[in-house]
Structure 1
Amino acid sequence: MYTSPKVIKGSSHIDQRGTLSFNNDFNTSEVKRVYFIENLDVQFIRGWQGHQIEQRWFSAVQGSFKIRVITIDNWETPSKNLESSVFILNSSSLDTLHIPKGYITSIQALEEKSKLMALSDYSIGEVNDEYRFDINYFK
């Protein structure tokens, strides 16, 4: 089966010069692409989208986000009763949520003007591996 999603803990240091946020445990050697997500508002939920082959990493760089994660049992017609795990990312630390292959996500900003950094281990067009389901498909 797949490995489980996990949060790679970041931290920050504050002194008279300002704040330094860091995540020394996040190994970026597999990352090929970086992009940012800014939802329209806090009511909008971006999802469900996932990948059988690709993996993603997410870090809140401004504000905070709720990310729901579901492992898929059948990519063509998944059960509608699959349970989700919930992760909260906040820009006050540089925590990074790793989503391995085999999962779908929904993403909701919890504060106005929130910005989420997303990283992928495949370049655009390198694989055809995008699965989308209506936001109301799952519980």
Structure 2
Amino acid sequence: MNTPDILEGGKYFDDRGSLLFNNNFDASEVKRIYFIENKDLSFIRGWTGHQIEQRWFSAVHGSFTIRLAKLDSLNNLDKNVEIVEFELNSLQFNVLHAPRGFATTIQATQNDSKLMVMADYLLGEIKDEYRFEINYFEKLK
């Protein structure tokens, strides 16, 4: 899939408690998992992009706003790049898929939030990280 999308999870309750699940997420491509905790609510982590790697994000505590911008070509970035925004929170086990060819920013929207990030390449397996100034895509418009 070439567009970012949310794989919706669910929650089950019974007399034993609750169970969060996501039966729509296929984790077979995941090779690496790590967690992000931003230093405060005003900090925006990013823009970090990948032409080859893809990422999946899920809030395990608190909530986050994640913005994505398409990287059509690093040599010829589109001046009218569309930025799409997603909200993730730990009350749902939703997973955001960021396909290859996108840059992201990550901002916590609740204190002490923790974001799980999954990638389809091991650390150092390929060289595919592109960083941009935080207002880079806003400058293009």
1:88: which partner in 2?
Answer: 87
1:29: which partner in 2?
Answer: 28
Instruction: Determine helix, strand or coil for the equivalent of 1:138.
Output: helix
Structure 2 unaligned residues grouped into runs of 5+: none
Deviating above 4 A after TM superposition, structure 1's stretches of 4 or more consecutive aligned residues are none
Q: How does 1:1-139 map to 2 (within 5 A)?
A: 3-76=2-75, 78-79=77-78, 81-139=80-138
1:75 CA displacement: 1.2
Amino acid at match of 1:83: E
Distance in 2, matches of 1:80 and 1:101, equals 19
1:21-48, Cα deviation, whole Å (9 max, x unpaired): 1101100000000000000011000000
Distance in 2, matches of 1:19 and 1:76, equals 49
TM-score of the pair, normalised by structure 2: 0.93
Higher helix share: 2
| Contact in 2 for aligned 1:11/1:22 (Cα 8 Å) | yes
TM-score of the pair, normalised by structure 1: 0.94
CA RMSD of the aligned region, Å? 1.3
Structure 1 unaligned residues grouped into runs of 5+: none
1:109 CA displacement: 0.3
- In the alignment of these two chains, the number of paired residues is 138
